[in-house]
Amino acid sequence: MTTANTPSNTMSSSPSQPATIPAVGACPFADTVRTHVGKTVVGQQVVVERVMIALLTGGHLLLEGVPGIAKTLIVQSVAKAIDLKFSRVQFTIDLLPSDILGSEILDQKTSEFRIHRGPIFTNLLLADEINRASPKVQSALLEAMQERKVSIGDTSHVLPAPFLVIATQNPIEQSGTFELPEAQLDRFLLRHRFSYPSAEEETEVVRRSLKLKLKRQGDGAVPMSAFDAIEDGAKLHIRDLSEAMAAVQNVHVSEVFLRDCVELVHLTRKHPDIELGCSPRAALALVHASRARAFLHGREYTIPEDFFALAEDVILHRMRLSYEALAMGRKSTDVLTEMLRSLA
Amino acid sequence: MIGVYFISAILATTIVADDNATPRGITGSVTISHSGDPLQAKLDQDLSSPLLVRVTDLSGTDPTSEHRYRIDYIGAVAGSFDLRSMITHRDGTPATEIAPIPVKIVSELPEKFGSDLFIVSAKPLFARSYYRVILGLIAAAWIAIPIFVFVRRAIRNRPAPPAPPPPPAPTLADQLRPLVEGAMNQGLSVPDQARLELLLMAFWSERRNFSALQPAEAIEKLRNDPEASTLLLAVERWLHSRAGATPQPEKDLAQLLDPFRGHDPITLVEVAQ
């Protein structure tokens, strides 16, 4: 089964990544989510696709981009489209692990400790500006991401299923931040870099904002925001997501595709400009994410296009250039492109 | 009476030999005294004779007194000789009344080289006898060798017969055919599968000037290209789908390979560069 892709709406969120939108009807699940998100968010089709890939594979997503490009809006829209519980935590320097995980508090009525569950007990957690929290908080969140359970007091609590963390980072304000180390970055299935919307998209964003009215609260009123415009009526449910996840498991991955994935990961370990190559987790992420992408494009098997489309989001945050390469002005994307060209 | 005369004559001859061992070719001399008829060297000595003798009368003109003669001799051949045989009286009669005058001619050469000055032991030079023939042969060679060289050069420079036309150079279609057939029949090894996809992408990226694009962009555009996508999508189906694609008739394969005819094969080294 193949898709006759006719890119009716190709909007690039990153200049190096194609934004192929599969034909309507190729994947009903993806169509529904896109339609729902598209009512609120203009463009950013690739980001929506990456969020869905993370959902379908049970991975986590790190979004990197300047403020004001609808990162939170996209995540919240996707959550509402699938009827997922959604929490948002703004990470700051004084945040404590218990602020995310929860804690035991003394119930004065019963004189007993009871568990106060933190915002992590949700399906979709948006960790906004994760690099602003202290390493202790980052570590607590990343452990929970890995193990999908948290310990509060003496009790271990399993997190809801599905559980997905979408963290954001602001790439320009590095003062007072704690950069995530490579070992923790490795736990994110994908790291996607936002770019500004195109002029047409931005015009449409402004045009839509003009249609927003006032939200009245008693006698007062505030202007509606884009968040207020998100439709509440979910079109999909967690059961649909589970079925889609099961369908992703059935997507076929050929031997030659596996070879390409492993070959690319091995190349990162041998490249002279790379100080730290990718872990085996990178090959796993590339294969699983490709399967999810193939499903979203209505295919029953992965193809090289999936591999090339996802390589940057899977590989770049898992490798570190050498000091010499950085001093010579080399960029990670250039090195990755070199490696991809040697494969393709 | 005659016997007395001979005895007196013998006694009257005194021989003083300087040295009776004389090398060949060197003049030796013997001095004798003789009171009889005057002596002289044998006339008409042959120059090729082994010994040449000259007799010189050393005494005065008084015929009654005893004569002293110096006999000079040159030996040509080593051996012992008696000079008396080479001396005669003035009237030509042999001087038999004088005592034998033995001399010894010795050779400075080792014995095996002989002692005859006039005998040449080596064979005569061949050229001495056949020089005309040799000169003729040289003249013939003088003419024949340049002719031979000229003819040989002419043969070598003769234009070679036209070589049979070389087989047509393999095209990219020929390079792809076994790979595509293998992909169709699910019989391609994994490295060859990767090679096939690589060749297709490299060819179409170059044809469409997508080399400057990111690989992800390039492949997305190629999949939507009406011409490039024909084989590209078919190969995707054959290589990546679960059960593979249904084998297609040969005419389909020929159609799929049509765009690659007339193009040179691609080496993977070029692609990597």
**Domain ranges, ordered by start, for chain B:** 2-113, 172-272
Distance between CA atoms of residues B191 and B184, nearest Å: 15
- E strand map for A218-273: 220-223
**Which of A2, A18, A252 is closest, CB to CB, to B217?**
A18
Question: Which residue type sits at B17?
Answer: A
Q: Are residues A91 and A38 in the same domain?
A: yes
CATH code at position A151: 3.40.50.300
Q: What is the pLDDT along chain A (344 residues), one digit of tens a residue?
A: 333 333 333 333 443 444 455 555 678 888 888 888 888 888 888 888 999 999 999 889 999 888 888 888 888 888 888 888 888 899 888 888 888 888 888 888 888 888 888 888 999 999 888 888 888 888 888 888 888 888 888 888 888 888 989 998 887 766 777 888 887 888 899 999 888 888 888 898 888 888 887 878 888 888 777 777 777 777 788 888 889 999 999 999 998 899 989 999 999 998 899 998 898 999 999 999 999 999 999 888 999 889 889 999 999 999 999 999 999 999 988 899 888 887 75
ipTM score assigned to the predicted complex: 0.72
CB contact under 8 A, A18 and B197: no
| Interface subset of B 240-259, CB within 8 angstroms of A | 240-242
- Asked whether residue A198 falls in the same domain as residue A291, the answer is no
Considering the domain architecture, whether residues A24 and A113 belong to the same structural domain is answered as: yes
**Do A156 and A135 share a structural domain?**
yes
Residues A94 and A240 in one domain: yes
Chain A residues at the B interface, defined by Cβ less than 8 Å, are: 1-2, 5-7, 16-18, 20, 252, 254-257, 259-260, 300-305, 308-309, 311-312, 337, 340-344
Question: What CATH class does B2-113 carry?
Answer: mainly beta
Smallest CA–CA distance from B224 into chain A, residue:
A5
My answer on whether A245 and A137 are in the same domain is yes
Q: Identify the domain boundary among A249, A267, A286.
A: A249
Q: Which among A198, A222, A249 is the end of a domain?
A: A249
The tally of domains found in chain A comes to: 2
Same domain, A123 and A236: yes
> Phi and psi (nearest 5°) for A59?
-90, -175
* A144 and A35 in a common domain: yes
Look at residues A249, A284, A319 and tell me which one is the last residue of a structural domain.
Answer: A249
Cβ–Cβ under 8 Å, residues B94 and B88 = yes
- Asked if residue A133 and residue A5 are part of one domain, the reply reads yes
A255 and A243 in one domain?
A: no
Strand A320-321 vs strand A155-158: parallel, antiparallel, or unpaired?
unpaired
CA distance A126 to A88: 5
B198 contact A CB<8A: yes
| pTM exceeds 0.80 | no
CB A179 within 8 A of CB A139: no
CB A293 within 8 A of CB A160: no
Q: Which domain holds residue A108?
A: 1-249
A239 with A260, same domain? Answer: no
